A and B are shown apart, each in its own frame.
Chain A
Amino acid sequence: MEFRLALAGNPNCGKTTLFNAVTGSAQYVGNWPGVTVEKKEGRFSKGGMDITLVDLPGIYSLSPYTPEEIVSRKYLTEECPDLIINIVDATNLERNLYLTTQLAELGRPMIIALNMIDRLKKRGKEIDIKRLEDELGIPVCPISAAKEAGIEDLLHRSIHILHDVAHSENEKIEKGFFKNRAEELHDELHRIHDGLNETEDVYFPIVKSFYEWEINSAIEGIEGVICDNPKAKNNLRFSAVKLFEDDFITKDTLKLDKNSQNLVEEILKSVPENENIDRQMMIADSRYKFICRIVNDVESQKKGFEETISDKIDKLLTHRVLAIPMFFLIIFAIFGITFGSFGSMLTDLVDKLINQDFAGFLREALLSVNTKPWAVSLLCDGMLAGVGAVVSFLPQIALLFFFLSILEDSGYMSRAAFIMDGPLRKVGLTGRSFMPMLMGFGCTVPAVLGTRILENERDKKLTVFLIPFMSCSAKMPVYALFISAFFEENKPLIIFTIYVLGILLGILSGFILKKTVLKGEESTFVMELPEYSLPTLKNLFIHVWERLKDFLLKAGTVLLAASVVIWFLQSFDTSLHMTDNPQTSILAAIGILIAPVFAPLGFGNWQSSVALLSGIVAKETVVSTFGILFSAADEATRVLAVQGLFSSPLAAFSFIVFVLLYTPCIAAVAAIHKELGGAKWTVLSILWQIAIAWLVSFLVFNIGGLIL
Chain B
Amino acid sequence: MGDIITVLIVIAAVAALAVGIIYGFKHKGGCKCGCDSCSQKSKCHK
Q: Footprint of B on A, CB under 8 Å?
A: 25-28, 36-42, 366, 369-372, 375-376, 378-379, 382-383, 445-446, 448-450, 546, 553, 557-565, 617, 666-674
Contacts and interface: CB of A to CB of B under 8 A. Distances in A.
Contacts of B43: 40-42
Contact of A446 (B16, B19, B39): B39
A667 B20 contact: no
Interface in B1-46: 1-3, 5-6, 9-10, 12-13, 16-21, 23-24, 27-30, 34-37, 39-43, 45
Given A366-B5, A546-B41, A557-B19, A617 B24 contact: yes
21 contacts: A26-B41, A28-B41, A37-B36, A42-B43, A370-B1, A371-B5, A375-B10, A378-B10, A450-B39, A553-B23, A557-B20, A558-B23, A558-B24, A561-B16, A561-B20, A564-B17, A617-B24, A668-B29, A671-B29, A671-B30, A671-B39
Nearest to A675: B29
Given A27-B42, A40-B42, A674 B30 contact: yes
Interface centre among B2, B5, B13, B21 (most CB of A within 10 A): B13
A25 B41 CA distance: 10
A398 to B, nearest CB: 18
A561 B19 contact: yes
A38 B30 CA distance: 13
A283 B44 CA distance: 38
B40 A40 contact: yes
B41 A561 contact: no
B9 A379 contact: yes
A667 B24 CA distance: 8
Contacts of B6: 371-372, 375
A499 B41 CA distance: 26
Nearest to A54: B45
B5 A673 contact: no
A25 B40 CA distance: 12
Contacts of A28: 40-41
Given A40-B42, A372-B6, A379-B9, A557 B30 contact: no
Contacts of B36: 37-38, 449
Interface centre among B1, B2, B3, B43 (most CB of A within 10 A): B2
Given A448-B29, A666-B24, 8 more contacts: A28-B40, A40-B37, A41-B45, A372-B2, A445-B29, A446-B39, A557-B23, A561-B16
A230 B40 CA distance: 34
A561 B19 CA distance: 8
Contacts of A372: 2-3, 6
Contacts of B42: 25, 27, 38, 40-41
A560 B32 CA distance: 23
Contacts of A39: 45
Nearest to B14: A564
A524 B32 CA distance: 33
A372 B1 CA distance: 11
A27 B41 contact: yes
Contacts of B19: 557, 560-561
A553 B20 CA distance: 10
A371 B41 CA distance: 42
Contact of A560 (B5, B20, B34): B20
A536 B35 CA distance: 30
Contacts of A564: 13, 16-17, 20
Interface centre among B9, B21, B29, B30 (most CB of A within 10 A): B29
Contacts of A445: 29-30, 39
Contacts of A565: 17
Contacts of B9: 371, 375-376, 378-379
B21 to A, nearest CB: 6
A97 B46 CA distance: 33
Given A37-B40, A546-B41, A369 B1 contact: yes
Contact of B24 (A36, A546, A557, A673): A557
A669 B6 CA distance: 37
Contacts of A448: 29
A29 B43 CA distance: 16
A560 B27 contact: no
B24 A378 contact: no
A671 B31 CA distance: 10
Contacts of B18: 561
A369 B13 contact: no
B2 A371 contact: yes
A350 to B, nearest CB: 21
Interface centre among A25, A366, A561, A673 (most CB of B within 10 A): A561
A378 B13 contact: yes
B29 to A, nearest CB: 3
A330 B24 CA distance: 35
Contacts of A26: 41
A559 B21 CA distance: 10
A405 B27 CA distance: 24
A38 B41 CA distance: 11
Contacts of B27: 667
A369 B2 contact: yes
B33 to A, nearest CB: 12
Contact of B29 (A382, A450, A667): A667
A58 B43 CA distance: 19
Contacts of A366: 5
Contacts of A37: 36, 40
Q: A-B pairs with the 9 shortest C-beta distances?
A: A561-B20, A370-B2, A670-B29, A671-B29, A557-B23, A670-B28, A40-B42, A375-B6, A449-B39
B16 A560 contact: yes
Contacts of A378: 9-10, 13
A383 B16 contact: yes
A328 to B, nearest CB: 29
A405 to B, nearest CB: 15
A24 B12 CA distance: 36
Nearest to A549: B41
A38 B37 CA distance: 8
A370 B24 CA distance: 35
Contact of A667 (B10, B28, B35, B37): B28
Contacts of B39: 445-446, 449-450, 671
Contacts of A370: 1-2
Contacts of A559: 20
A383 B1 contact: no
A561 B23 CA distance: 10
